[in-house]
């Protein structure tokens, strides 16, 4: 912990980190100061007045907590009658024109206004005049739906487009009860991070068109995960639910804070990439295009691998380190070649300087850490010599550039171990259905050499095996956790010094430890 | 606090009672007394002649569910999922969608109640913020030869009328 200061909260002495404002500093020690407009990523705006706190013997005696840095000996009052009255009055003001349409509002259940009403207000409305009516269900573009009546004018969304994306599509027009958030005429939201305003909005004013009416917030289980959309490895919440009579299904991704990787935000493409976890999956294990049991498939695949003179094992750059180690073990045992060639995952020029990366795979850095070749030359050479291709979830033909392989591939026997249905699984002699990244756990390294761990979030009714399990069935020697951990520690020595339970939640920056890091 | 103890006298310990046979015939006298009385004059029966005579249902009685409508015929339900959330037997399943009749923003596109799973507790009625679901149809008998027809869909729930006038329903005192 950085430097600390001692101050008083409601007469009680506490020690908090210095250099923060009161809201952030107190949050760490479990003291909540209510606020609408303040957000750590957007800074203090001080417009909502909900975070006003009293300072004993202070000049002025009332300060907004978001704009007040912690100071030695500060006597902060949070529970005086005056502060409670202010919180109550601010809540009453916010609710004057609030439509209270919680039954149809997607935010209900995770709404700051609802929570604060129960904690700080809890009074019936005194308003006897008709409410001001504003625009509802306005399409702001980029899949954002805005409801002006629900808005508390905290300006988080406005500040997001100005400070973070620097596009400034949103603004607040008019004053007093006519004030409203809107876009400029004919210029809707147009940036690749726009859906973050849905997360940012403390109330239900900004909702996602994609998630609209799909689920109520309280039905969803929130599991932590890592987005596999690009090489950034943004941290996400995987919100999923098993409906009555249905299967465990993902309904949305939300940004999860990780200061080391993505901060508070994720891109829209990553946010909507949950669709790929639900759809287009290779549901069943197939033998020559027909559904079969896993035993039949294993028998055929084993025979083919054993009979092959030069098998080529192609690994997806989305595989975890554990999976890569297991596959490498199998390849070594079968005297085959391993390739991580996956140029088809790279979309040149698509990335930006914020979160989106050119490389649309999650663990390419893992190839380097484990010494797996990824070059086109080596792959082409291996492919020409090979008589069997065992493809581990590598979507080789996902982009046009890979079309040159189709001729060679058509002459080759292919065994596909895949989570999704693609061209290669359709032409494969044997296709194993395996779990995807929301259903297994593992370790990945992102483009900035941050090593992150994630655990399984979704548990299907009929779970398909993890890729490591299929590798074991195919005769891979390295498949149990202990051996894999050992191999991983050999490849990344810094891991050896870290207990599994003490692994940092934000991930491990491998660059910082470069001095004692020796690549295998 | 003192515990009150009431001692009950144990019956059946006399010699005649222990013979059983005498007691059996005394019991049969009661049974056949009723038998002959009802056989000679059916109207003297103490029980209701169900199903020819139906019981009187009060507005408080929780029967089969229905979905209510506004006066213009549009559905009151806004698919807030309160009933589904509150349901202890998980018999309600709803799928929400965009509202098309201009009343609000949201409406159910699928609303199913599995009457075999329902325990008729009435929590859905209590939870509903729109007074959209009621159990005032007065239907207490749900019979079917197949399971699927006991899962009531939205159309059927909307089509079922209430058995009471609006005033009587409001007066039920809940």
Q: What is the pLDDT of residues B48-76, one digit of tens each?
A: 888 888 888 899 999 999 999 999 999 99
Q: What's the ipTM? A: 0.85
The answer to whether the CB atoms of B96 and A137 lie below 8 A apart is: no
Tokens representing residue B153 in the block:
């869909």
Residue A453 has a pLDDT of 94
The residues near A78 (Cβ < 8 Å, ≥ 6 apart) are A9, A10, A31, A33, A53, A54
Q: Are residues A62 and A125 in the same domain?
A: no
Predicted TM-score (pTM) of this structure: 0.89
**Residues of B with CB below 8 A from A218's CB?**
85
CATH of the domain at A310: 3.40.50.740
Q: Are residues A238 and A351 in the same domain?
A: no
B:25-44 residues touching chain A, CB 8 A cutoff: none
User: In terms of C-beta density within 10 A (0-12 exposed, 13-18 middle, 19 or more buried), how is residue A271 classed?
Assistant: buried
Tokens representing residue B131 in the block:
């007074």
CATH of the domain at A247: 2.20.25
Residue A519 has a pLDDT of 43
Q: Are residues A328 and A441 in the same domain?
A: yes
Please say whether the beta carbons of A232 and A355 come within 8 A. yes
CA distance A213 to chain B (A): 6
The answer to whether the CB atoms of A101 and B105 lie below 8 A apart is: yes
Please say whether the beta carbons of A45 and A160 come within 8 A. no
Torsion region of A516: left, alpha or beta (phi above 0 gives left; psi -120 to 50 gives alpha):
alpha
CB neighbours of residue A112 within 10 Å: 19
Residue of A nearest to B113 (CA): A244
Q: Is residue A497 part of a domain?
A: no
Q: Show pLDDT as tens, one digit a residue, over chain A (520 residues).
A: 578 999 999 999 999 999 999 999 999 999 999 999 999 999 999 999 999 999 998 888 999 999 999 999 999 999 999 999 999 999 999 999 999 999 999 999 999 999 999 999 999 999 999 999 999 999 999 999 999 999 999 999 999 999 999 999 999 999 988 999 999 999 999 999 999 999 999 999 999 999 999 999 999 999 999 999 999 999 999 999 999 989 999 999 999 999 999 999 999 999 999 999 999 999 899 998 899 999 999 999 999 999 999 999 999 999 999 999 999 999 999 999 999 999 889 999 999 999 999 999 999 999 999 999 999 999 999 999 999 999 999 988 887 665 678 788 888 899 999 999 988 898 899 999 999 999 999 999 999 999 999 999 999 999 999 999 999 999 989 878 899 999 999 999 999 888 888 889 899 998 875 544 444 3
SS3 state of residue A219: helix
**Residues of A with CB below 8 A from B93's CB?**
243-245
Q: Are residues A308 and A389 in the same domain?
A: yes
SS3 state of residue A377: helix
Q: Are residues A315 and A431 in the same domain?
A: yes
pLDDT in tens, B107-162: 999 999 999 999 999 999 999 999 999 999 999 989 999 999 999 999 999 999 99
Of B81, B93, B97, Cβ closest to residue A244: B93
Residue of B nearest to A137 (CA): B105
Exposure of A124 in the CB half-sphere (CA atoms within 13 A): 2
d(CA A437, CA A446): 15
The answer to whether the CB atoms of A243 and B79 lie below 8 A apart is: no
Q: Are residues A322 and A459 in the same domain?
A: yes
Q: Are residues A290 and A382 in the same domain?
A: yes
Of A108, A137, A244, Cβ closest to residue B90: A244
CA distance A50 to chain B (A): 29
Of A101, A213, A245, Cβ closest to residue B96: A213
Can you list the alpha helix ranges (DSSP code H) found in A172-221?
A: 196-200
d(CA A216, CA A109): 8
CA distance B79 to chain A (A): 7
Of A422, A365, A412, A417, whose CA–CA distance to A389 is shortest?
A: A412
d(CA A13, CA A360): 50
Q: Are residues A119 and A69 in the same domain?
A: no
Residue A427 has a pLDDT of 87
Of B72, B75, B65, B70, whose CA–CA distance to B133 is shortest?
A: B65
Q: Are residues A169 and A293 in the same domain?
A: no
SS3 state of residue A34: coil
Of B80, B90, B93, Cβ closest to residue A103: B80
Residue of B nearest to A108 (CA): B80
Residue A217 has a pLDDT of 96
**Residues of B with CB below 8 A from A136's CB?**
105
Backbone torsions φ then ψ of B107, nearest 5 degrees: -150, 160
CA distance B114 to chain A (A): 11
Q: Are residues A320 and A344 in the same domain?
A: yes
Q: Is residue A222 within a helix (H) or strand (E), and if so which, with residue range?
A: strand A221-226
Q: What is the DSSP string of A74-138?
A: -EEESSSHHHHHHHHHHHHHHHSS----GGG-TTTTS-HHHHHIIIII-------SPPPP---SE
Q: Is residue A96 part of a domain?
A: no
According to DSSP, the residues that pair with B84 across neighbouring strands are: none
SS3 state of residue A12: strand
Tokens representing residue A257 in the block:
């804070």
Residue of B nearest to A99 (CA): B104
CATH of the domain at A127: 3.30.70.20
SS3 state of residue A485: helix
Q: How far apart are the first and last CA of chain B?
A: 35
Backbone torsions φ then ψ of A103, nearest 5 degrees: -60, -30
The answer to whether the CB atoms of A101 and B79 lie below 8 A apart is: no
Number of domains in chain A: 4
d(CA A451, CA B141): 63
The residues near A120 (Cβ < 8 Å, ≥ 6 apart) are A34, A84, A87, A88, A91
Q: Are residues A190 and A261 in the same domain?
A: no
**Residues of A with CB below 8 A from B106's CB?**
103-104, 213
B:53-112 residues touching chain A, CB 8 A cutoff: 78-82, 85, 90, 93, 96-98, 104-106
**Residues of B with CB below 8 A from A103's CB?**
78, 80, 82, 106, 129-130
The answer to whether the CB atoms of B104 and A101 lie below 8 A apart is: yes
Domain boundaries, chain B: 15-44, 66-170
Strands A311-315 and A337-339: parallel
Q: Is residue A94 part of a domain?
A: no
Residue B1 has a pLDDT of 63
Please say whether the beta carbons of A243 and A233 come within 8 A. no
CATH of B66-170, one of 3.30.70.3270, 1.10.3720.10, 3.20.20.70, 1.20.120.330: 3.30.70.3270
Q: What is the DSSP string of A302-357?
A: HHHHHH-SSEEEEE-TTS-HHHHHHHHHHHHHTT-EEE---GGGB-TT---SSS--
Residue A513 has a pLDDT of 57
Q: How far apart are the first and last CA of chain A?
A: 34
The domain containing residue A41 runs over which residues? 4-79
pLDDT of B77 above 60: yes
Tokens representing residue B146 in the block:
């197949």
| Interface with A, mutate which of B77, B79, B81, B86 (most A CBs under 10 A) | B81
The residues near B21 (Cβ < 8 Å, ≥ 6 apart) are none
**Residues of A with CB below 8 A from B78's CB?**
103-104
Q: Are residues A163 and A224 in the same domain?
A: no
Q: Is residue A92 part of a domain?
A: no
Can you list the alpha helix ranges (DSSP code H) found in A454-498?
A: 467-473, 481-491
Buried b (16+ CB within 10 A) or exposed e, A285-315: bbbeeeebebeebbebbbebbeebeebbbbb
The answer to whether the CB atoms of B105 and A136 lie below 8 A apart is: yes
Q: Is residue A89 part of a domain?
A: no
């Amino acid at each position: 912990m950085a430097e600390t200061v001692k101050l008083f909260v409601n007469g009680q002495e506490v020690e908090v980190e210095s250099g923060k404002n009161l809201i952030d500093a107190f949050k760490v020690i479990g003291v909540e100061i209510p606020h609408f407009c303040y957000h750590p990523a957007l800074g203090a705006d001080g417009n909502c007045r909900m975070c006003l706190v009293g300072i004993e013997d202070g000049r002025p005696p009332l300060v907004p907590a978001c704009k007040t840095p912690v100071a030695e000996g500060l006597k902060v009052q949070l529970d005086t009658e005056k502060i409670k009255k202010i919180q109550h009055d601010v809540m009453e003001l916010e609710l004057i024109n609030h439509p209270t349409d919680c039954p149809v509002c997607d935010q209900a259940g995770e709404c700051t206004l609802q929570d604060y009403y129960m904690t700080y207000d809890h009074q019936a409305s005194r308003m006897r005049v008709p409410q001001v009516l504003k625009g509802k269900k306005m399409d702001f573009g980029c899949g954002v739906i805005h409801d002006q009546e629900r808005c508390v004018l905290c300006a988080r969304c406005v500040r997001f487009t100005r400070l973070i994306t620097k596009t400034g599509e949103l603004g607040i027009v008019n004053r007093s009860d006519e004030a409203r958030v809107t876009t400029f005429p004919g210029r809707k939201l147009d940036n690749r991070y726009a859906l973050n305003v849905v997360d940012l909005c403390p109330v239900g004013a900004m909702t996602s068109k994609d998630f609209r009416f799909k689920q109520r917030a309280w039905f969803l289980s929130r599991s932590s995960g890592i987005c596999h959309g690009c090489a950034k490895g943004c941290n996400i919440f995987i919100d999923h639910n098993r409906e009555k009579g249905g299967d465990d299904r993902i309904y949305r991704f939300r940004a999860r804070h990780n200061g080391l990787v993505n901060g508070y935000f994720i891109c829209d493409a990553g946010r909507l990439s949950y669709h790929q976890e639900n759809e287009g999956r290779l549901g069943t294990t197939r033998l020559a295009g027909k559904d079969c049991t896993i035993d039949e498939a294993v028998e055929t695949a084993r025979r083919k691998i054993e009979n092959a003179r030069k098998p080529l094992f192609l690994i997806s750059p989305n595989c975890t380190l554990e999976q890569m180690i297991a596959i490498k073990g199998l390849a070594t045992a079968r005297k085959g070649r391993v390739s991580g060639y996956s140029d088809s995952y790279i979309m040149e020029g698509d990335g930006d300087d914020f979160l989106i990366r050119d490389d649309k795979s999650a663990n390419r850095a893992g190839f380097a850490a484990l010494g797996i070749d990824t070059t086109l030359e080596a792959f082409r050479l291996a492919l020409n010599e090979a008589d069997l291709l065992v493809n581990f979830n590598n979507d080789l033909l996902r982009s046009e550039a890979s079309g040159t392989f189709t001729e060679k591939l058509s002459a080759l026997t292919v065994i596909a171990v895949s989570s999704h249905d693609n061209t290669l699984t359709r032409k494969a002699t044997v296709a194993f259905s395996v779990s995807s990244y929301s259903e297994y756990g593992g370790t990945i390294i992102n483009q900035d050499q941050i090593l992150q761990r994630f655990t399984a979030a979704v548990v299907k009714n009929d779970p398909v095996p993890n890729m490591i399990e299929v590798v074991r069935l195919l005769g891979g020697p390295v498949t149990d956790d202990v051996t894999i951990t050992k191999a991983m520690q050999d490849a990344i020595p810094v891991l050896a010094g870290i207990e599994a339970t003490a692994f940092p939640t934000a991930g491990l920056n491998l660059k910082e430890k470069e001095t004692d890091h020796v690549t295998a | 606090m003192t515990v009150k103890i009431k001692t009950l006298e144990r019956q059946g310990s006399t010699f005649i009672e222990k013979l059983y046979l005498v007691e059996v015939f005394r019991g049969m006298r009661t049974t056949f007394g009723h038998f002959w009385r009802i056989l000679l004059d059916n109207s003297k029966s103490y029980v209701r002649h169900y199903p020819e005579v139906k019981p009187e249902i009060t507005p408080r009685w929780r029967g089969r569910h229905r979905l209510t409508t506004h006066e213009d015929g549009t559905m009151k339900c806004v698919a807030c999922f309160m009933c589904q959330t509150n349901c202890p037997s998980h018999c309600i399943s709803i799928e929400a969608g965009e509202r098309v009749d201009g009343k609000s923003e949201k409406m159910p596109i699928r609303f199913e109640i599995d009457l075999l799973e329902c325990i008729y507790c009435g929590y859905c009625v209590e939870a509903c913020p729109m007074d959209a679901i009621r159990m005032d149809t007065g239907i207490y008998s749900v019979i079917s030869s197949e399971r699927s027809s006991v899962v009531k869909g939205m159309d059927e729930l909307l089509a079922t009328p209430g058995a009471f006038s609006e005033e009587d329903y409001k007066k039920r005192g809940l």
